[in-house]
Structure 1
Amino acid sequence: MITFEQVSVRYHDSATPALSGVDLTVPEGELCLLVGPSGSGKSTLLGTVSGLVPHFTGGVLHGRVTVGGRDTREHRPRELADLVGTVGQDPLAHFVTDTVEDELAYGMESLGLAPEVMRRRVEETLDLLGLAELRDRALTSLSGGQQQRVAIGSVLTVHPRVLVLDEPTSALDPGAAEEVLAVLQRLVHDLGTTVLLAEHRLERVVQYADQVLLLPAPGEPPVLGEPAEVMAHSPVHPPVVALGRAAGWSPLPLSVRDARRRAAPLRARLDGRTPTAAPAVTGDPVVTVDRLTVRRGPVPALRGVELALCPGEITALMGRNGAGKSTLLGSLVGLHQPTAGSVRVSGLTPHRARPKELIRRIGLVPQDPRDLLYGETVAAECAAADEDAGAEAGTCRGLVSRLLPGIDDALHPRDLSEGQRLTLALAVVLTSRPGVILLDEPTRGLDYAAKGRLIEILRALAADSHAILLATHDVELAAELAHRTVILADGEIVADGPTPEVVVSSPAFAPQVAKVLTPSPFLTVRQVTQALGDTP
Structure 2
Amino acid sequence: MIRFENVSVTYADAPAPALRNVELTVPEGELMLLVGPSGVGKSTLLGAVAGLVPHFTGGVLRGRVTVGGRDTRDHKPRELADLVGTVGQDPLAHFVTDTVEDELAYGMESLGLAPEVMRRRVEETLDLLGLAELRDRPIATLSGGQRQRVAIGSVLTPHPRVLVLDEPTSALDPAAAEEVLAVLQRLVHDLGTTVLMAEHRLERVVQYADRVALLRAPGEPVLTGPPAEVMAVSPVHPPVVGLARLAGWEPPPLTVRDARRRAAPLRDRLAGRAPAPVALPAAAVPVPAVDAGGTAREGRFGALLSRLRPDRRNGPAESEPGPTESVSGAGAGGGAGADVVSARGLAVRHGRVEALRGVDLTVRPGETVALMGRNGAGKSTLLGALTGMVTPAAGRVLVGGLVPHRTPPRQLVRRVGLVPQEPRDLLFAATVGAECAAADADAGAAPGSCRELVTRLLPGVPDEAHPRDLSEGQRLALALALVLTGRPPLLLLDEPTRGLDYAAKARLVEVLRGLAAEGHAIVLATHDVELAAELAHRVVILADGEVVADGPTPEVVVSSPAFAPQVAKVLAPGPWLTVAQVEAAL
TM-score grouping bracket, smaller chain normalisation:
over 0.9
Q: Is the alpha carbon distance of 1:380 and 1:288 closer, same or farther for their aligned partners in structure 2, counting shifts above 3 Å?
A: same
1:74 aligns with 2:74: yes
Partner of 1:265: 265
Q: Distance in 1 between matches of 2:127 and 2:519?
A: 52
Q: Is the alpha carbon distance of 1:101 and 1:125 closer, same or farther for their aligned partners in structure 2, counting shifts above 3 Å?
A: same
Partner of 2:290: none
Partner of 2:468: 414
Note the alpha carbon deviations across 1:88-113, whole angstroms, 9 max, x for none: 23434322223444333322222233
Q: Distance in 2 between matches of 1:410 and 1:341?
A: 47
Partner of 2:518: 464
Contact 1:145–1:177, Cα closer than 8 Å, also in 2: no
What's the offset of the Cα at 1:390? 5.0
Task: Please show how residues 194-273 of structure 1 align to structure 2 within 5 Å.
Answer: 194-273=194-273
Aligned to 2:160, what secondary structure does the other structure show?
A: coil
Q: What amino acid is the match of 2:492?
A: L
Task: Identify which of 543, 548, 563 aligns with 1:494.
Answer: 548
What's the offset of the Cα at 1:327? 1.2
Q: Is the alpha carbon distance of 1:351 and 1:446 closer, same or farther for their aligned partners in structure 2, counting shifts above 3 Å?
A: same
Greater CA deviation, 90-99 or 39-48? 90-99
Q: What amino acid is the match of 1:514?
A: A
Task: Identify which of 449, 461, 464 aligns with 2:503.
Answer: 449
Partner of 1:85: 85
Q: Distance in 1 between matches of 2:135 and 2:419?
A: 35
Task: Identify which of 526, 530, 533 aligns with 2:584.
Answer: 530
Contact 2:39–2:474, Cα closer than 8 Å, also in 1: no
Contact 2:476–2:499, Cα closer than 8 Å, also in 1: no
Task: Please show how residues 147-162 of structure 1 align to structure 2 within 5 Å.
Answer: 147-162=147-162
Task: Identify which of 353, 358, 367 aligns with 1:313.
Answer: 367
- Counting matched residue pairs gives 532
1:516 aligns with 2:570: yes
Q: Distance in 2 between matches of 1:22 and 1:315?
A: 43
Greater CA deviation, 285-294 or 239-248? 285-294
Contact 2:43–2:471, Cα closer than 8 Å, also in 1: no
Q: Distance in 2 between matches of 1:302 and 1:116?
A: 39
Contact 1:240–1:513, Cα closer than 8 Å, also in 2: yes
Q: Distance in 2 between matches of 1:397 and 1:4?
A: 36
Partner of 1:176: 176
Task: Please show how residues 333-348 of structure 1 align to structure 2 within 5 Å.
Answer: 333-348=387-402
Task: Identify which of 361, 384, 396 aligns with 1:330.
Answer: 384
What's the offset of the Cα at 1:146? 5.2
Partner of 1:373: 427
Q: What amino acid is the match of 2:192?
A: G
Q: Distance in 1 between matches of 2:441 and 2:112?
A: 55
Q: Distance in 1 between matches of 2:186 and 2:476?
A: 35
Aligned to 2:276, what secondary structure does the other structure show?
A: coil
Note the alpha carbon deviations across 1:425-467, whole angstroms, 9 max, x for none: 3333234332111111110111111101100000111111111
Q: Is the alpha carbon distance of 1:313 and 1:58 closer, same or farther for their aligned partners in structure 2, counting shifts above 3 Å?
A: same
Q: Distance in 2 between matches of 1:426 and 1:128?
A: 35
What's the offset of the Cα at 1:381? 2.7
What's the offset of the Cα at 1:474? 0.4
Partner of 2:490: 436
Aligned to 1:302, what secondary structure does the other structure show?
A: strand
Q: Is the alpha carbon distance of 1:120 and 1:402 closer, same or farther for their aligned partners in structure 2, counting shifts above 3 Å?
A: closer
Aligned to 2:266, what secondary structure does the other structure show?
A: helix
Note the alpha carbon deviations across 1:33-69, whole angstroms, 9 max, x for none: 1111112111111111111111111122222111111
Greater CA deviation, 74-83 or 339-348? 339-348
Q: What amino acid is the match of 1:465?
A: G
Q: Is the alpha carbon distance of 1:58 and 1:124 closer, same or farther for their aligned partners in structure 2, counting shifts above 3 Å?
A: same
Aligned to 2:175, what secondary structure does the other structure show?
A: helix
Q: Distance in 2 between matches of 1:130 and 1:431?
A: 40
Greater CA deviation, 99-108 or 250-259? 99-108
Q: Distance in 2 between matches of 1:376 and 1:103?
A: 32
What's the offset of the Cα at 1:391? 5.2
Q: Is the alpha carbon distance of 1:480 and 1:448 closer, same or farther for their aligned partners in structure 2, counting shifts above 3 Å?
A: same
Structure 2: give runs of 5+ residues left out of the alignment.
283-336
Note the alpha carbon deviations across 1:388-432, whole angstroms, 9 max, x for none: 445566654565566666654443333344444334333332343
Contact 2:473–2:498, Cα closer than 8 Å, also in 1: no
Note the alpha carbon deviations across 1:315-346, whole angstroms, 9 max, x for none: 11111111111111111121122221212222
Q: Is the alpha carbon distance of 1:86 and 1:362 closer, same or farther for their aligned partners in structure 2, counting shifts above 3 Å?
A: same
Aligned to 1:260, what secondary structure does the other structure show?
A: helix
Note the alpha carbon deviations across 1:192-250, whole angstroms, 9 max, x for none: 11111111100000001111111112231001110000101111111011111111101
Contact 2:367–2:520, Cα closer than 8 Å, also in 1: yes
Greater CA deviation, 277-286 or 393-402? 393-402
Contact 1:228–1:253, Cα closer than 8 Å, also in 2: yes
Q: Is the alpha carbon distance of 1:62 and 1:358 closer, same or farther for their aligned partners in structure 2, counting shifts above 3 Å?
A: same
Q: Is the alpha carbon distance of 1:137 and 1:464 closer, same or farther for their aligned partners in structure 2, counting shifts above 3 Å?
A: closer
Q: Distance in 2 between matches of 1:122 and 1:465?
A: 50
What's the offset of the Cα at 1:133? 6.3
Q: Is the alpha carbon distance of 1:192 and 1:129 closer, same or farther for their aligned partners in structure 2, counting shifts above 3 Å?
A: farther
Q: Distance in 2 between matches of 1:401 and 1:118?
A: 48
Aligned to 1:176, what secondary structure does the other structure show?
A: helix
1:291 aligns with 2:354: no
Q: Distance in 2 between matches of 1:313 and 1:129?
A: 36
Aligned to 2:278, what secondary structure does the other structure show?
A: coil
Q: What amino acid is the match of 2:110?
A: S
Alpha-carbon RMSD: 2.3
Aligned to 1:4, what secondary structure does the other structure show?
A: strand
Q: Distance in 2 between matches of 1:128 and 1:172?
A: 15
Q: Distance in 2 between matches of 1:514 and 1:372?
A: 36
Task: Please show how residues 469-480 of structure 1 align to structure 2 within 5 Å.
Answer: 469-480=523-534
Note the alpha carbon deviations across 1:246-276, whole angstroms, 9 max, x for none: 1110111111111011111110111111111
Contact 2:207–2:254, Cα closer than 8 Å, also in 1: yes
Q: Distance in 2 between matches of 1:207 and 1:405?
A: 30
Q: Is the alpha carbon distance of 1:280 and 1:461 closer, same or farther for their aligned partners in structure 2, counting shifts above 3 Å?
A: closer
Q: Distance in 1 between matches of 2:193 and 2:371?
A: 37
User: So what's the TM-score if we normalise by structure 2?
Assistant: 0.85
Partner of 1:109: 109
Contact 1:319–1:488, Cα closer than 8 Å, also in 2: yes
Q: Is the alpha carbon distance of 1:457 and 1:125 closer, same or farther for their aligned partners in structure 2, counting shifts above 3 Å?
A: closer
Partner of 2:188: 188
Greater CA deviation, 157-166 or 453-462? 157-166
Greater CA deviation, 289-298 or 399-408? 399-408
Q: What amino acid is the match of 1:97?
A: T
Partner of 2:60: 60
Contact 1:50–1:86, Cα closer than 8 Å, also in 2: yes
Partner of 2:334: none
Aligned to 2:272, what secondary structure does the other structure show?
A: coil
Q: Is the alpha carbon distance of 1:281 and 1:340 closer, same or farther for their aligned partners in structure 2, counting shifts above 3 Å?
A: farther
Q: Distance in 2 between matches of 1:419 and 1:156?
A: 26
Aligned to 1:254, what secondary structure does the other structure show?
A: coil
